[in-house]
């Protein structure tokens, strides 16, 4: 539940435009609920626990990333560059 609270704080207090991360499907689902309510895209690294068509219906702002870490980082870098973002906050549980 901590990740849900953190995501809600980022959306409400910091007005973030995108949330990325989540290594487990449980985390992705919690954050995707926040993203849906706030209409903020959520990029998840976790493999889906339900089939993709159902995922898109339940969480329209959830985007699932590749399972290859290098491809994920290249994708995130491309998104940051395309929006000309100067500040990006990375959150990790390493």
- Long-range CB pairs of 13-21, under 8 A, 24+ apart, other chains included: 14/89, 16/40, 16/89, 17/41, 17/83, 17/85, 18/42, 18/43, 18/79, 19/43, 20/44, 20/45, 20/76, 21/45, 21/90, 21/91, 21/92
pLDDT number for residue 80? 86
Q: What CATH number is attached to the domain comprising 74?
A: 3.40.50.2300
Q: Which pTM does this prediction carry?
A: 0.67
Low-confidence residues of the chain: pLDDT under 50: 94
pLDDT number for residue 65? 72
pLDDT number for residue 35? 94
pLDDT number for residue 23? 79
Domain that holds residue 7: 2-82
pLDDT number for residue 14? 92
pLDDT number for residue 15? 92
pLDDT number for residue 71? 73
pLDDT number for residue 91? 65
In a domain? residue 35: yes
In a domain? residue 87: no
* Count: domains in the chain: 1
pLDDT number for residue 67? 62
pLDDT number for residue 51? 67
């Amino acid at each position: 539940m901590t990740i849900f609270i953190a995501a809600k704080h980022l959306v409400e207090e910091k007005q973030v435009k995108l949330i990325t991360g989540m290594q487990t499907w449980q985390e992705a689902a919690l954050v995707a609920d926040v993203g849906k309510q706030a209409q903020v895209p959520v990029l998840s690294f976790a493999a889906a626990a339900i089939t993709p068509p159902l995922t898109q219906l339940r969480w329209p702002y959830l985007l699932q990333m590749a399972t290859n870490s290098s491809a994920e980082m290249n994708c995130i870098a491309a998104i940051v560059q395309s929006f000309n973002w100067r500040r990006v906050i990375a959150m990790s549980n390493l």
